[in-house]
A and B are shown apart, each in its own frame.
Chain A
Amino acid sequence: MTTLLAIGTGKGLFLATSTDGRRSWQISGPHFPMTGVYAVAVDSRRAVPRLLAGTSSSHFGPSLATSDDLGSSWQEPEHAPVAFPADAAASLGRVWQLTPGGPAEPDVVWAGTEPSALFRSADGGRTFELVRALWDHPHRTQWGAGFGGQAVHSVLPHPRDPARLVVAMSTGGVYRSDDAGASWAPGNTGIHARYLPDEWPEFGQCVHKIARDAGDPERLYAQNHHGVYRSDDGGRTWASIAAGLPSDFGFPMVAHPTRPGMIWSFPLVADWQRFPADHRCRVYRSADAGGTWEPLSAGLPDGPFYPAVLRDAMCADDADPAGVYFGTRSGEVYASRDEGDSWSLVAAHLPDVLCVRAAEV
């Protein structure tokens, strides 16, 4: 079995492959040199796995490319695959998230974008259409921009019900749809927004990342701009699970692909101190849905460590046992083939890592 690890960086996409049970990796790239690759997906639902990469050139703008031969060649349509319609009076900043749809919709791919919008593809990610109801939401004019921009960065299809979808944006927070995107309701009750005058607003939270539990689709996890939360009702209400972490600030939130209750995070000190907690390179894992946390550092650098891990720069693969991966802004990528118990270096000296995604292919 081959495992593919796609590494999006500030200056292109690198592809790491392992054919020996994730013990060693061969790396190709950069694909799309000098473009920021903020979003990548490995759609392994297809007979032939499809890679999708959201690229962003500082000169020539954003685009999206697909590959059906594991990155040997890439295809881009003649016309922009993700673009706002004329009446939206907006232009795409970049694609921030690419998420294959649920198992019942094998050709659906979702794209979260900057500015905050959701696009849907019905042809496996070659072309996309704007989800109008979210774009036309009356809250949209009040959604703000964080330092990285204003974007939909998380898209969670429901594993069994294609009508149900949860997205998260910075800033704006969590929005839920139960009717295949025809209408959207905020789902931020319980998420503290200490950076706003109203600290418990209906929306406006700066949710950094959300993830869905492997066993219970009603159970979601969120890393907020300060605050780590769990929802047991599909994202309607949230409760803190930050106790036991060294800090409640950070960006990634990753759920195990098959083991209920297991999640990983990479805490940073605080919004004014965006360094790893205690200046140490440690991943934190919970095996009980955030009830307790344990630091994981075997094989990781044991000296002072300062690079941050961005919201999409941590992921899990779909192997058994699950592999976990993260990349740093200093261009290092680490992998664990045992759910985080131990780690090894996959790559170093890359450009800053923006996103990682991995799957058996």
Chain B
Amino acid sequence: MVTVLVPGPLRGEVGGAARLTVRAHGTLRDVLDELADGWPRLSRRLRDERGDLRRYVNVYVDGEDCRQAGGLAAPVRPGAEVRVLPSVAGG
């Protein structure tokens, strides 16, 4: 199982949950694809319709920025913690 930590601004999309659990592991794409099946409203805040991670959404896998670890191909081990954080952007 993999734990996904949901940031405050997006918890309204998942009934207020701060953390979600998914069975998928392997790559971040696998995890986010399962997330899309169960929580499509959350998913479309994180990725566009091509599946790409939105520019100002950061995802950390066990504390490492996924963009430094292969992006959606970043490896995710069973038991990993995937933390979603909005980047410091906006005016």
Contacts and interface: CB of A to CB of B under 8 A. Distances in A.
Given A59-B87, A59-B89, A59-B90, A92 B48 contact: yes
B54 A60 contact: yes
Interface stretch (B15-23, B38-46, B59-67, B74-82): B38-46
Nearest to A60: B45
B49 A84 contact: yes
B87 A80 contact: no
Nearest to A58: B90
**Dominant secondary structure of chain A at its interface with chain B:** loop
A79 B54 contact: no
Contacts of B87: 59
Contacts, number: 46
27 contacts: A34-B90, A57-B45, A58-B89, A58-B90, A59-B9, A59-B45, A59-B56, A59-B86, A59-B90, A60-B9, A60-B45, A60-B57, A60-B86, A61-B48, A61-B54, A63-B44, A76-B41, A78-B40, A78-B41, A79-B40, A79-B44, A83-B49, A84-B49, A86-B49, A86-B50, A89-B50, A91-B50
Interface residues of A, number: 18
Nearest to B41: A78
Contacts of B56: 58-59
Nearest to B58: A59
Nearest to B49: A83
Interface of B: 9-10, 40-41, 44-46, 48-50, 52, 54, 56-57, 86-87, 89-90
A83 B54 CA distance: 14
Interface of A: 34, 57-61, 63, 76, 78-80, 83-84, 86, 89-92
A361 B89 CA distance: 38
Given A76-B41, A78-B40, A59 B54 contact: yes
A82 to B, nearest CB: 9
- Chain B CB within 10 A, most for which of A34, A83, A86, A91: A91
A79 B41 CA distance: 6
B89 to A, nearest CB: 6
A59 B89 CA distance: 8
Nearest to B87: A59
Nearest to A81: B44
Nearest to B52: A91
Contacts of B41: 76, 78
Contacts of B54: 59-61
A41 to B, nearest CB: 22
Contacts of B10: 60
Nearest to A89: B50
